[in-house]
Amino acid sequence: MVHARLALAELERGREAASRAERGQVGQLVLGMVPSGDTKLFINVLRRFGERFPEVRLVLQSLSTTAQVEAIQEGHLDVGFLRMPVRAPWLEIRVISRETLVVALPSSHRLAREGTVTLADLSGEPNIMFPRRLAPDYYDSIVSLFRQAGQRLQISQEAEHVQMHLSLIAGGFGLSLLPSSMQDFRLRGVAYRSIADAVPVVETAIAYRPDNRSKVLHSLLAVVEETAPQLGSLLADAHQANGPAR
């Protein structure tokens, strides 16, 4: 009789585990995050998801937009938090954050005494950029911004990670145009200033394969929708873009 009760209890536990898996409450999810993404929103999503689905193991990877697109295509990532624009019509893409650009500059720089700066103020100043291969469209938007304003963009350094950007800025090696959410990274010797000119809006988005049937993935998407409801709609332009991501 005891053995029968134990067997029934084990069977019930198995059924409950299968039910939780079917509801997307257990399992594993591999996520990519671009270093310059909206970190505050990303952390809020992870916190809310972890509270609701504590039995799901999240594996986080810091990857460039280009690397994330390739990893999703190859099945190494379930979902990516990346920078727009992305040319990959085979991906489902949802914009979750929109923000403007600010300039990060040494706190000892003459422009740090100003409330706002203009592109003319930044013309010819040594600029630290992300390498173009990491996010070609993002890079090109910065170059185009200066060109259309008739100002000179002087690229003095390239660095792959935001932390290196900020360290170089603090060391007086130049300045950098960064998404406004990067102001959450406070480092001694770095000041942030708004740009008076019209600047591009930079977008953080989530991307995943539409044929990914993971219940855990769809649980995450539901949490993202709740966390950024005003920006959770499908970005139709992503489906109309031609050619693979560069």
- Look up the pTM and report it: 0.74
Confirm if 112 and 193 have CB atoms less than 8 A apart.
yes
Return the pLDDT at 176.
95
pLDDT digits (tens, 9 = 90+) for 217-237: 999 999 998 888 544 443 333
What CATH number should be reported for the domain whose range is 2-98+203-240?
Answer: 3.40.190.10
We find that the CATH architecture of domain 101-200 is: 3-Layer(aba) Sandwich (3.40)
Return the pLDDT at 5.
47
Nearest to 202 by CA among 90, 96, 94, 99: 99
pLDDT digits (tens, 9 = 90+) for 133-180: 887 888 898 999 999 999 999 999 999 888 899 999 999 999 999 998
**Residue 194 token pair:** 């708004």
Residue 1 pLDDT exceeds 90: no
Return the pLDDT at 49.
95
**Residue 35 token pair:** 């270093």
Q: Where do the domains of the chain lie?
A: 2-98+203-240, 101-200
Return the pLDDT at 117.
96
Q: Which long-range contacts (CB under 8 A, 24 or more apart) does 51-55 make?
A: 52/219, 52/223, 53/24, 53/25, 53/26, 53/216, 53/219, 55/20, 55/25, 55/26
- Per DSSP, 201 falls in state P
Residue 182 pLDDT exceeds 90: no
pLDDT digits (tens, 9 = 90+) for 100-127: 999 999 999 999 999 999 999 999 999 9
Check if 2-98+203-240 and 101-200 are the same fold: yes
Residue 128 pLDDT exceeds 90: yes
Return the pLDDT at 216.
94
CB burial of residue 66 (10 Å; 0-12, 13-18, 19+): buried
CA angle 16, 10, 50 (to 5 degrees): 35
d(CA 175, CA 177): 7
pLDDT digits (tens, 9 = 90+) for 18-71: 444 444 456 999 999 988 777 788 888 999 999 999 999 999 999 988 899 999
Beta bridge partners of 189: none
Return the pLDDT at 38.
77
> What is the percentage of the chain residues whose pLDDT exceeds 70?
82
**Residue 81 token pair:** 């938090």
Which regions of the chain does DSSP assign to beta strands (E)? 27-33, 56-62, 79-83, 92-99, 101-106, 116-117, 126-129, 154-158, 176-179, 190-195, 202-208
Mean pLDDT computed over 187-208: 92
Host H or E run for residue 8: helix 2-22
